[in-house]
Structure 1
Amino acid sequence: MIHVRRPLALLAIPLLALACLTAALPAHAQGGPFIDISDNRGGNVLQMVQRRSELERSGKTVRIRGYCRSACTILTTLPNACLGPRARIGFHAPRIPNTQIIPPYVDQIMGNFYRNGIRDRWFGGWNRSMEMQVISARDYVRLDPQTRICDSIRP
């Protein structure tokens, strides 16, 4: 009886390890050519910087769809990113959660990810605005022509 269980146990160990590894992988690592970022509210800037690095290393096209705001906006300049034709991008001053306090340097961190006219607008006042400054994907591309609209998404 021990001889019967042992081969089954030996087979079960790698299968269990594989199942755990697959479950631990981020959703974007589990298949498909795209990673969709949809209706992202942003959040912690440093965590988003880390997420940005993961997305860049993924080798997949990152499609930003719906409403991308706050810290999510730093994903727009990923070399493997594109904006959905109906995407809206929202900028506001970074704040300590549940306050109106703008922490030092965080706007500089975010601004380092922006380019061209978006960067100009950011440092021209969006980085100090408590109100959300929302622009369409097309307006974003007009301000930063290096950004592209996703050709894999129909308008």
Structure 2
Amino acid sequence: MNSILRPTALVALLLAGLMTAPQASAQQGRFIDVTDNRGGNVLQMVQRRSELERSGKIVRIRGYCRSACTILTTLPNACLGPHARIGFHAPRIPNTQIIPPYVDQIMGNYYRAGIRDRWFGGWNRSMEMQVITARDYVRLDPQARICDSIRP
């Protein structure tokens, strides 16, 4: 039996154990609120992102969205709460400092403009959380928007 794993098999094994499962979102009428989401497994968040995009509802990112949650910020039907904070750090295997291969690339493919530049400029390798406000996020990614359905 070959003891060397193919890169895709290795990534799948690593991603299976990445962080924790994404937190549930509250659904109300025409909105889906993603509030204080800690992120979790990147592949699970990619799947959740697809579900949210297909929902036909406005996805409001509120509170503190960090880690894998950040890939939701570029949903075409998403907006950022005026007091939201967005936190970026290197993806890593839970309870370690090990950055698995390819995962930062998967995440980076969801970012745009200045956010993408900062991600690949070092946030993708930082063990410390890089936190920005919703307004700073919009300055770095002008396609993002602040929710007009949430009063500041």
Q: State the TM bucket, normalised to the shorter chain.
A: 0.7 to 0.9
Give 1:4's aligned residue. none
Q: If each structure's helix is expressed as a fraction of its own residues, which one has the higher value? A: 1
Considering only CA atoms, is the larger Rg found in Structure 1 or Structure 2? 1
Return the offset for 1:27.
5.9
Which of 118, 143, 146 is the aligned partner of 1:146? 143
> Residue 74 of structure 2 aligns to a residue in which SS?
coil
In the alignment, the residues of structure 1 paired with residue 34 and residue 151 of structure 2 have an alpha-carbon distance, to the nearest angstrom, of: 16
TM-superposition CA deviations, 1:45-94 (whole Å, max 9, x none): 00000000000000000000000000000000000000000000000000
CA contact (8 A) 2:26 2:34 kept: no
In the alignment, the residues of structure 1 paired with residue 31 and residue 62 of structure 2 have an alpha-carbon distance, to the nearest angstrom, of: 12
The TM-score normalised by the length of structure 1 is 0.81
In the alignment, the residues of structure 2 paired with residue 129 and residue 68 of structure 1 have an alpha-carbon distance, to the nearest angstrom, of: 17
> Residue 55 of structure 1 aligns to a residue in which SS?
helix
The TM-score normalised by the length of structure 2 is 0.83
Give 2:124's aligned residue. 127
* CA RMSD between the two structures: 1.1
Give 2:54's aligned residue. 57
> Residue 35 of structure 1 aligns to a residue in which SS?
strand
Amino acid at match of 2:106: I
Amino acid at match of 2:141: D
Number of aligned residue pairs: 128
- Give identity over the alignment, percent: 91
> Residue 76 of structure 1 aligns to a residue in which SS?
helix
Give 2:72's aligned residue. 75
The correspondence of residues 69-108 of structure 1 with structure 2, limited to 5 A, is 69-108=66-105
Runs of 4+ in 1 over 2 A off after TM superposition: none
Return the offset for 1:43.
0.4
Q: 1:84 to 1:27 in 2, by over 3 A?
A: closer
Amino acid at match of 1:32: G
> Residue 90 of structure 1 aligns to a residue in which SS?
strand
In the alignment, the residues of structure 2 paired with residue 153 and residue 75 of structure 1 have an alpha-carbon distance, to the nearest angstrom, of: 18
Amino acid at match of 1:149: I
Amino acid at match of 1:123: F
